Amino acid sequence: MDHNKKIIFSGVQPSGSLTIGNYLGALKNFGKLQADYNCYYCVVDMHTLTVRQNPEILKERSYQVLALYLACGLDPEKNVLFIQSHVPCHAELSWILGCYTYMGELQRMTQFKDKSARHADNINAGLFTYPVLMAADILLYKTDMVPIGVDQKQHLELARNIAERFNNIYGDTFVIPEPYIPKQSAKIMSLQEPDKKMSKSDTNVNNFVLILDSQDVILKKFKKAVTDSGCEIVYDEINKPGISNLINIYASVKDISREDVVKEFEGSRYGDFKVAVGTAVAEALAPIQSKYNDFIADKAYLDSLLKRNAEIAGENARKTLKEVYEKVGFIVF
């Protein structure tokens, strides 16, 4: 690692197949940042247990997220790609930070409110303390910047508050992390219900496009996407949420501005625009899918990478944890 470079940490839950929301909101940016920062990209398997998981499927999905990191172009020599449960410091720091987090703060988390409404039969303590574990993930590595979609912003703000609180009591310990939220793909919306976030745990498959959906399926889903009344392709989140979402998707995939998209499709019909967006997404994902297939077939390689990186991440995390243990008054050898 180059000690002059700033540090990035981000994570993805292996709780479902990843969507283009995950890709455009997070993974695509991970790749852009790898040259200028020391990056830790984690498969946050411990977070998934807040909702019931099938153990075999969870294991496979953890490999899938790692293979997707690689397929999206993350260089395994330049980035620390690892699994959260392989580094026990995450759970250890989470306990400490939990003692510096207030119930009221956790009760205000919108994701907790949403998820407990959706899983009313399983409102477990982990779901409630989830943002503390996320704060531990970030703070363990003295992270400067966290690339995330806007849905994680509130959790990041809590991590900052916890870090500041700890620093105020014990002196400078944690770096206060900044969010890195892409403008055009901060929140990719559902294709059928564009007033809600595209989510990998949605029950209606037409609401999301998966990174691994076949080219046909991608095109079909975009053709079915809900548009709005009127016929103009203009950006207006309030009155034209469907079209605005498609503009954001096209702009992010092509790395152009919303204004450029509007110009390009001036006078086009909704139907033609939907086909163009679907085609652009399918084209962008094709090389990722092909690389993914190669990586996922080589579990021995993935395992060796995970073992090596668990050690690298663990070594750095242990340093911070030791510092924290000393500050709170534990006996450390």
Subset of 141-160 contacting ligand TYM (CB under 6 A): 146, 148-149, 151-152, 155
Q: Is 197 in the site for ligand TYM (CB under 6 A)?
A: yes
- Taking the least distance from each CB to ligand TYM, the nearer of 52 and 263 is 52
* Of 130-138, 223-231, 296-304, 320-328: span binding ligand TYM (CB under 6 A): 130-138
Residue in 237, 239, 151, 160 with CA at minimum distance from that of residue 197: 151
235 versus 301: smaller Cβ distance to ligand TYM = 235
CB of 54 to ligand TYM, least distance (A): 17
Which sign, positive or negative, has the C-alpha torsion 47, 60, 67, 291? negative
Q: What is the 3-state secondary structure (H, E, C) of 176-226?
A: CCEEECCCCCCCCECCCCCCCECCCCCCCHHHCCECCCCHHHHHHHHHHCC
Three-state secondary structure call for residue 43: strand
Q: Shortest gap between Cβ of 266 and ligand TYM (angstroms)?
A: 26
Cβ distance 134 to 84 under 8 Å? no
Tell the burial category of 290 from Cβ atoms under 10 Å away from its Cβ (0-12, 13-18, 19+): exposed
Q: Is 134 in the site for ligand TYM (CB under 6 A)?
A: yes
CA distance 52 to 208: 21
For residues 62 and 103, the answer to whether their CB atoms sit within 8 Å is: no
Minimum Å gap between C-beta 94 and ligand TYM is 11
From residue 160 to residue 189, the character string flagging contacts with ligand TYM as x (rule: CB under 6 A) and all else as - is -------------------------x-xx-
Residue 183 among the catalytic residues: no
Is 27 within 8 Å of 63 (Cβ atoms)? Answer: no
Q: Is 129 in the site for ligand TYM (CB under 6 A)?
A: no
Determine whether 78 is an active site residue: no
- C-alpha span between 298 and 290 (Å, rounded): 13
Query: Rounded to the nearest whole angstrom, what is the least distance from the CB of residue 49 to ligand TYM in the complex?
Result: 12
Report which residue's Cβ sits closest to ligand TYM.
25
**Residue type present at position 89:** C
Taking residues 23 to 62 in sequence order and writing x for each that binds ligand TYM by CB under 6 A, - otherwise, the string is --xx-----------------x--x---------------
Active site residue 197: yes
Smallest gap from Cβ 138 to ligand TYM, in A, equals: 5
Does 12 participate in binding ligand TYM (rule CB under 6 A)? Answer: yes
Q: CB–CB of 215/282 below 8 Å?
A: yes
* DSSP annotation string for 100-128: TS-HHHHHT-HHHHHHHHHTTT---HHHH
3-class DSSP assignment, residue 8: strand
Cβ proximity to ligand TYM: between 189 and 330 the closer is 189
* Catalytic residue of the set 28, 197, 221, 240: 197
Decide if residue 11 touches ligand TYM (CB under 6 A). Answer: yes
294-333 binders of ligand TYM (CB under 6 A): none
Q: Which residues of this protein are in contact with ligand TYM, per CB under 6 A?
A: 9-13, 21-22, 25-26, 44, 47, 134, 137-138, 146, 148-149, 151-152, 155, 185, 187-188, 197-198
> Which residues are the active-site residues?
115, 197, 200
